[in-house]
Structure 1
Amino acid sequence: MTSIFQILMLILDVIWFIMIAHIIMSWLINFQVLNLRQPLVAQIWDGLNRMLEPIYGPIRRVLPNTGGLDLAPLVALIAIYALRIILINNAAAFY
């Protein structure tokens, strides 16, 4: 059971880092540090969007429209962190 706990924590950590990379890349694109006309940047951006859209999509449908401000990544990060807290507090069930 310990290995299940560790695998779940690993999956949450990987999702966390992918989301952080997506957020930082979106800032760099918006501040025109990165250009989507470059093929490598466009491929990475498209890959990150495809990976995270199943997570962000349902959150965006629930959240109210805030114009140009997308709060879905923030809600998803908080949800991932809350899941980590729940798993850590209930780690004894895995031993």
Structure 2
Amino acid sequence: MIEVNVDQDTVEKLTKDEIQKRLSEADFDLVLWDKHELTRRTCMSWSTIQKTFFYHPDCPKVKLGGKWYFKAEEMKDFLLKWVEEQKED
């Protein structure tokens, strides 16, 4: 039988580093992201985003004309903070 042990702190650090790397590499000077850009940049489905952080009180979002938009710089900062908060749970 095979047993696998995972160091949670290492996984969280690697996840945070990878999010930061992808955000840095994919920065195209966009001021706003729509939900499709947010899903692309987080590698999460829209339903996962809604279940995890969309309704967080600090999530920077605005609905314009029936469509959700996210301020790019504020969302980057929020996501990095949110990942850190997940370590506390």
Tell me the TM-score range normalised by the shorter chain.
0.3 to 0.5
Bigger Cα Rg: 1
TM-score by length of 1: 0.44
TM-score by length of 2: 0.46
Determine which structure has the larger strand proportion and give its number.
2
Determine which structure has the larger helix proportion and give its number.
1
